[in-house]
Structure 1
Amino acid sequence: MAGQAQYEELARQLSAVGAVKRDLGRILPQDCSAGSAGVLALLGRHGDLRMSALSELLAVDMSVTSRHAAHLADRGWVERSPDPADKRSRILHLTPEGRTMLAELSRRSTELLAERLDDWTDAEIGRLIGLLTRLRASFGDCRTIAHRPPLPPAPPPPVPVSEQAPTTRTPAQAT
């Protein structure tokens, strides 16, 4: 099992992954935020989704999902249609323009990764993919499990009356 120093270094390295994400964010088209790109990617991977399912996959509030959906719909990348099972809900699906944008996003990210990792071997990239996949699996479905702080220590068990120190009573308490 890894020691504390290794876990601390791992935490530092994982926080540095933010730099990679920022670089990937810089290559997005001006009218496509990282959140919008995430929605397009999920729709591309999962197909048509109800707004509630999309919100759960994104691990964000429904209002955030609704803003992303409106942004994408305004650009013609997704369509929102009533859910036949629940007319109050909407189903999102990619339009042909949305599929074109998703392909462009994929091309851009693939090119950036290929450029930045050009001195890596195929085996190293494969190991990284395997380790990141395993890391995600170790954390499970982070969308539905809220982080809970550790419980406070349990109070000590009560001391049986027979083991308690004798108390002295005043004459008034004795009666």
Structure 2
Amino acid sequence: MAARSQYEELARQLSAIGAVKRGLARILPAECPGGSAAVLTLLSRHGEMRISRLAELLSVDMSVTSRHVAHVAERGWIERFPDPADKRSRILRLTPAGEGVLDDLSRRTTEMFAGHLQDWSDEEVGQLNTLLARLRDSFSCRGTGGCAPGKHSGDCRPRQADSHDGSYTRTPV
């Protein structure tokens, strides 16, 4: 286990992540605020789903999720259709136009990071990606058994199969 001072420094460094998040927010087009980008990203990563599942993944309540969904649906970036298993529910699906928006967001994000990290080696960027994924994973346990980091059960954390290629690289926000 690391020394207390290491955790204090980690807390300071993570609080500075706000500058990175603000940089990411600045590159979003006006018609695609952060909440909309998150909706598109999650639908791309996880596939079609009910709005309740989307709200869970966004970690926001249904009213906020509904506003985000309405925004992207009005622009034709997602489609809503009846759930065959429950006609009262709707399934959300990314459209080709939504994929195009995501491609643009991914390009913008990649260019921003490439510009800001141009003095970093590929190895350093890879190490950061690995460590950030590990940090996120350590906080992801939601299992009822209260598992410990590094000792997760299959239902307590995101599985790599939840993303298209086993990575978490297509998150523009």
Report the counterpart of residue 8 of structure 1 in structure 2.
Answer: 8
> Would you say how many aligned residue pairs link Structure 1 and Structure 2?
144
The alignment yields a C-alpha RMSD, in angstroms, of 1.5
Q: What letter is aligned with 1:14?
A: L
Q: How far does the alpha carbon of each residue in 1:126-171 deviate from its partner, in whole angstroms, 9 at most, with x for none?
A: 1001101111111124699xxxxxxxxxxxxxxxxxxxxxxxxxxx
Q: How far does the alpha carbon of each residue in 1:103-131 deviate from its partner, in whole angstroms, 9 at most, with x for none?
A: 10001001101111110000000100110
Gaps of 5+ in 1: 145-175
Report the counterpart of residue 165 of structure 2 in structure 1.
Answer: none
How does the TM-score come out when normalised to structure 2? 0.80
Report the counterpart of residue 89 of structure 2 in structure 1.
Answer: 89
Question: Is the 1:81–1:90 contact (alpha carbons within 8 Å) kept by the matching residues of 2?
Answer: yes
The reply to whether residue 100 of structure 1 matches residue 100 of structure 2 is yes
Give the secondary-structure state (helix, strand or coil) at the position aligned to 1:28.
coil
Bigger Rg, which one: 1
Give the percent of matched residue pairs that are identical in Structure 1 and Structure 2: 66
Question: Is the 1:57–1:143 contact (alpha carbons within 8 Å) kept by the matching residues of 2?
Answer: no
The reply to whether residue 39 of structure 1 matches residue 31 of structure 2 is no
Q: What letter is aligned with 2:30?
A: Q
The reply to whether residue 123 of structure 1 matches residue 120 of structure 2 is no
Q: How far does the alpha carbon of each residue in 1:67-98 deviate from its partner, in whole angstroms, 9 at most, with x for none?
A: 10000011111111111111221111111111
How does the TM-score come out when normalised to structure 1? 0.79
The structure with higher relative contact order (CA 8 Å, sep 6+) is 2
Change (3 A) 1:62 1:143: farther
Report the counterpart of residue 149 of structure 2 in structure 1.
Answer: none
Give the secondary-structure state (helix, strand or coil) at the position aligned to 1:2.
coil
**CA–CA distance in structure 2, aligned partners of residues 85 and 103 of structure 1:** 32
**CA–CA distance in structure 1, aligned partners of residues 18 and 143 of structure 2:** 19
Give the secondary-structure state (helix, strand or coil) at the position aligned to 2:82.
strand
